[in-house]
Chain A
């Protein structure tokens, strides 16, 4: 049976923990709001981009671009977007599981975020490049990542580039997701990701009818529009994915910290009860001793 002093010490430490997790929860909540807003702000851009791409797609025959070429030779390059810090529930573990399940061919990795980089290094995977991103993520910081991926692809070493990230569905649900970045699949071009995550955060067709209603002239011509557009499309895709991943991270952390705070408070309550019981027992015992002693003296 624990003595009073031990219990008092435990209560104190549990309360301290609760205080810390509570603080982390609040910080995560604030950051979550920002990250979610950022993920939503990209939607306007995405919609417009999709509209143009859908239209371009219908004129696609005869258009060529290195990003569209499907090659046989080469390895698979995978960009894994994880978090820098832990204490954010299972999102990194789930993402790693997804990576293991989906990436079965000979692949090499580039990473954003320390957590899964460490894991991949442990299992002797080849890490090509590692990136760190500020919080909130400035658009310009995504450009080096896009450049790295496209350069590697164009160099011929790799014939496929995929991105693994945690798609933000809602504050409570985040889904690990693998999507192919390069070569760009024209049939999947302009598919819309469900940013708000109604449903399962899956992709669906853009409103093609509305897009095709307008017959655009491409200035100077469709091919140069395509070659100007595709790199921007790639960069934007990556941006959207890291922003999604960031929103997921903060949401997961907030939820995890809320659970931790609740648990700590429950534990503190139980300990307090036990402490009071013991204290009462001790007082009773003491009183008994005194009364017995008095009785003996009479």
Chain B
């Protein structure tokens, strides 16, 4: 068992003992179990899964990072919603808006803006995928 905390600036989304956690990172999904070595890694928008009491729960998360040590794991992200909380229509709209904004940019625009829009699209996709599962 490992202690999982999921925190956004607005609230604490989840706190409790879980069996395992899967995190979306730049280099692919990583799984974290008990006694994992202490680690910090950035997270990309995607699906976070954890198993609690034999049941797998999934959340759509935004950009952020995870701090892991032997006994606990803290996920700090700007968004964390469960499937029930996802507003699919809204997510779809956000995605379209961000895609449109991205198209209007050319390659000369700064990388940060592009990265931000891509993150925003990623967030919407993560929500939509979670909802449709």
Chain A interface residues (CB < 8 Å from chain B): 38, 41-42, 44-45, 48-49, 51-52, 55-56, 138-140, 143, 147, 150-151, 154, 214-220, 224-225, 228-229, 231-232, 235-236, 239-240
From A42, A215, A228, B9 is in contact (CB under 8 Å) with A42
Majority SS at the chain A contact face: helix
Other than the given A143-B116, A216-B39, 18 more pairs (CB < 8 A) read A38-B10, A41-B10, A41-B11, A41-B12, A42-B9, A44-B5, A44-B12, A147-B113, A151-B113, A154-B110, A214-B38, A217-B37, A219-B39, A228-B42, A229-B42, A232-B64, A239-B9, A240-B9
User: Which B residue sits closest to A42, measured CB to CB?
Assistant: B9
CA distance A100 to B110 in the complex (A): 34
Given contacts A42-B9, A45-B76, A139-B10, contact A219 B110 (CB under 8 A): no
**B26: which A residues are within 8 A, CB to CB?**
220, 224
CA distance A220 to B11 in the complex (A): 28
From B5, B7, B27, B38, A220 is in contact (CB under 8 Å) with B27
**A151: which B residues are within 8 A, CB to CB?**
110, 112-113
From B42, B76, B116, A224 is in contact (CB under 8 Å) with B42
User: Which B residue sits closest to A56, measured CB to CB?
Assistant: B40
**B7: which A residues are within 8 A, CB to CB?**
44-45, 48
Given contacts A48-B74, A55-B40, A219-B39, contact A228 B10 (CB under 8 A): no
Nearest-neighbour CB distance to chain A for B6, whole angstroms, equals 10
**A154: which B residues are within 8 A, CB to CB?**
110, 112
- The answer on a CB contact under 8 Å between B116 and A147 is yes
From A41, A214, A229, A239, B65 is in contact (CB under 8 Å) with A229
B78 at the interface (CB under 8 A from A): yes
Q: Encode B25-58 as 1/0 by CB contact (under 8 A) with A.
A: 1110010000001111110000000000000000
- The answer on a CB contact under 8 Å between B67 and A51 is yes
CA distance A235 to B10 in the complex (A): 13
Nearest-neighbour CB distance to chain A for B94, whole angstroms, equals 10
User: Which A residue sits closest to B66, measured CB to CB?
Assistant: A219
- The answer on a CB contact under 8 Å between B40 and A225 is yes
**A139: which B residues are within 8 A, CB to CB?**
8-10, 78
From A38, A44, A45, A216, B40 is in contact (CB under 8 Å) with A216
**A220: which B residues are within 8 A, CB to CB?**
26-27, 41
B92 at the interface (CB under 8 A from A): no
CA distance A171 to B37 in the complex (A): 44
B63 at the interface (CB under 8 A from A): yes
**B12: which A residues are within 8 A, CB to CB?**
41, 44
24 A/B residue pairs, CB under 8 Å, sorted by A: A38-B10, A41-B11, A44-B7, A45-B7, A45-B9, A48-B74, A49-B76, A55-B40, A139-B78, A150-B112, A151-B110, A154-B110, A154-B112, A215-B38, A216-B39, A217-B40, A218-B39, A219-B30, A220-B27, A225-B41, A228-B63, A232-B65, A232-B76, A239-B9
**A215: which B residues are within 8 A, CB to CB?**
38
CA distance A236 to B7 in the complex (A): 13
CA distance A154 to B115 in the complex (A): 15
- The answer on a CB contact under 8 Å between B76 and A219 is no
User: Which A residue sits closest to B94, measured CB to CB?
Assistant: A140
**B69: which A residues are within 8 A, CB to CB?**
214
User: Which A residue sits closest to B64, measured CB to CB?
Assistant: A232
CA distance A143 to B27 in the complex (A): 25
